């Protein structure tokens, strides 16, 4: 009876107070959700600074600015105060049990960073920035032109330090992403681009070059002679050009993918140099090669192939320096090749040209060989005469008297 009287006299205002607290906490939670994303992401970009304080500020804000955690603490504390008396009158241990339950709920509701970019469970998400990477941490919403930050790799290099860091991706609750419990999403995105130099060789052979495919360049001269050759190019992305590279070539993500996993990705990687070089860089090299050879007749193009490659290198460097790619060099990776009949005719022509250019020397060699042969004959005759004993061996049918007469005559 005492129990019924207690609740009958105070239940109405306690229920009203509970509803009011819930409504107030809902409004506060909504306001905090609007501001939490901007506040946490702005604090997160400070991780890229060479500052311990900036990291500490981010950690504190990431744990206590979450809309759900603060409003949950406040709401549960007010509810406990409202219902403290009835709970205590039921049992002396009831308030303690209720307080433990509230503390448990608070403990599991306090925000910590998430494991995934779109998850109902909020867990830590860490990403390493390696020494060969350029990094940008960009708030997902708000004035992110002024609040984004680039990792200062150049300053590290100037001081002979290794530019590497581990950063934490901040997360906030995205309203209305589920019927009951909303999802956690990143409030900032980390963009990474690999600055490692990359060298590519496109050749017409399958046993050389970057790949086993025949990837050489084909073009023709002004007199419509088909030619082919291989090209090698080395490129990299400088730290100061990383933003420009992102602007022109973007990331490796699938275009127009509106799935939550793509929309709320925490880390995005710039397109690889290999991919860019196999597409637009190769196409530019092909275009300039074809243009330069098409200006020249076949024999002229062969003699001016060095000048042609200089033109290709300059054009490729100029084109892609504006787009964030530094071209170190461009050169031939194999010889110029032609149709087999043209190659044989060219070989014969060159051999004939060499022979004509050296005709005087060749004639001198012939005369020398002729004189040498004559001297050899004379020397052979002299050697034979020295070895002759004066006796002539006549055939057996010549009489001895005639043979002696001839011998005597020859001695005279």
Question: What are the domain boundaries of the chain?
Answer: 2-194, 198-257+272-342, 359-411
Q: What is the pLDDT of residues 216-254, one digit of tens each?
A: 999 999 988 889 999 999 999 999 999 999 999 988 765
Q: Note the pLDDT tens digit of each residue in 25-60.
A: 777 766 666 666 666 666 666 666 666 666 666 666
Contact yes or no for 275/189 (Cβ under 8 A): no
Contact by Cβ (8 Å): 264, 186: yes
Q: Is the pLDDT of residue 316 over 90?
A: yes
* Least confident stretch, 146-150, 172-176, 223-227, 284-288: 172-176
**Distance from C-alpha of 409 to C-alpha of 412, rounded to nearest angstrom:** 5
pTM listed for this prediction? 0.61
* Phi-psi category of residue 124: left, alpha or beta, with phi > 0 → left and psi -120 to 50 → alpha: beta
Residue 322 has pLDDT above 90, yes or no: yes
pLDDT at residue 312 above 90?
yes
User: Any idea what DSSP says for residue 281?
Assistant: I
Q: Considering the chain, what is the average pLDDT of its residues?
A: 75
Point out the least confidently predicted range of 170-184, 214-228, 381-395: 381-395
How does residue 160 score in pLDDT terms, banded at 50, 70 and 90? confident
Confidence bin at 331 (pLDDT 50/70/90) = very high
For residue 293, count other CB atoms closer than 10 A to its CB: 25
CA–CA dist 108, 122 (Å, integer):
10
Nearest to 289 by CA among 275, 301, 276: 301
Residues 358-365, mean pLDDT to the nearest whole number: 60
**How many CA atoms lie within 13 Å of 32's alpha carbon, on the beta-carbon side?**
20
Contact 281, 248 (CB under 8 A): no
Mean pLDDT of 315-338: 94
- List the single range of 274-283, 355-364, 378-387, 397-406 with lowest mean pLDDT: 397-406
**Of the candidates 241, 330, 337, the residue with the CA atom closest to the CA atom of residue 277:** 330
Q: Which two tokens stand for residue 24?
A: 């107030």
pLDDT score of 77? 76
HSE of 210, CA atoms in CB hemisphere, 13 A: 16
Sequence-distant (6+) residues with CB within 8 A of 330 are 231, 232, 233, 285, 309, 312, 313, 316, 317
- 259-263, 276-280, 363-367, 372-376: least confident range: 363-367
pLDDT at 139: 83
| Chain CA centroid to CA 144, Å | 26
CATH number of 198-257+272-342: 3.30.479.30
């Amino acid at each position: 009876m005492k129990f019924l009287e207690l609740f009958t006299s105070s239940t109405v205002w306690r229920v009203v107070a509970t509803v009011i607290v819930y409504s107030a906490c809902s409004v506060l939670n909504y306001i905090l959700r609007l501001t939490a994303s901007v506040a946490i992401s702005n604090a997160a970009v400070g991780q890229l600074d060479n500052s311990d304080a900036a990291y500490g500020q981010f950690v504190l804000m990431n744990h206590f600015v979450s809309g759900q955690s603060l409003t949950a603490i406040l709401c549960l504390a007010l509810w406990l105060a409202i219902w403290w008396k009835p709970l205590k009158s039921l049992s002396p241990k009831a308030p303690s049990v209720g307080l433990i339950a509230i503390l448990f709920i608070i403990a599991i509701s306090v925000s910590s960073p998430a494991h995934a970019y779109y998850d109902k469970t909020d867990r830590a998400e860490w990403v390493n920035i390696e020494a060969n990477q350029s990094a940008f941490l960009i708030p997902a919403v708000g004035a992110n032109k002024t609040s984004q930050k680039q990792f200062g790799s150049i300053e590290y290099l100037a001081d002979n330090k290794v530019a590497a860091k581990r950063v934490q991706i901040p997360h906030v609750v995205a309203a209305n992403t589920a019927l009951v419990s909303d999802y956690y999403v990143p409030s900032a995105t980390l963009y990474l681009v690999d600055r490692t130099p990359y060298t590519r060789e496109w050749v017409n052979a399958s046993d050389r070059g970057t790949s086993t495919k025949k990837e050489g360049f084909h073009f023709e001269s002004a007199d419509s002679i088909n030619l082919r050759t291989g090209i090698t190019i080395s490129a990299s992305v400088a730290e100061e050009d990383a933003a420009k590279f992102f602007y022109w070539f973007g990331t490796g993500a699938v275009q127009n993918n509106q799935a939550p996993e793509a929309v709320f990705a925490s880390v995005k990687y710039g397109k690889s140099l290999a991919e860019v070089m196999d597409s637009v860089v190769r196409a530019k090299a092909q275009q300039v090669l074809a243009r330069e050879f098409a200006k020249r007749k076949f024999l002229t193009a062969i003699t001016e192939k060095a000048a042609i490659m200089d033109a290709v290198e300059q054009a490729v460097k100029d084109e892609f320096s504006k787009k964030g790619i530094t071209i170190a060099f461009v050169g031939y990776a194999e010889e110029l090749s032609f149709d087999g009949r043209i190659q044989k005719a060219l070989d014969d022509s060159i051999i004939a040209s060499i022979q004509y250019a050296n005709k005087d020397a060749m004639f001198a060699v012939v005369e020398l060989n002729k004189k040498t042969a004559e001297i050899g004959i004379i020397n052979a005759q002299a050697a034979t005469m020295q070895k002759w004993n004066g006796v002539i061996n006549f055939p057996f049918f010549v009489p001895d008297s005639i043979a002696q007469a001839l011998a005597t005559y020859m001695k005279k």
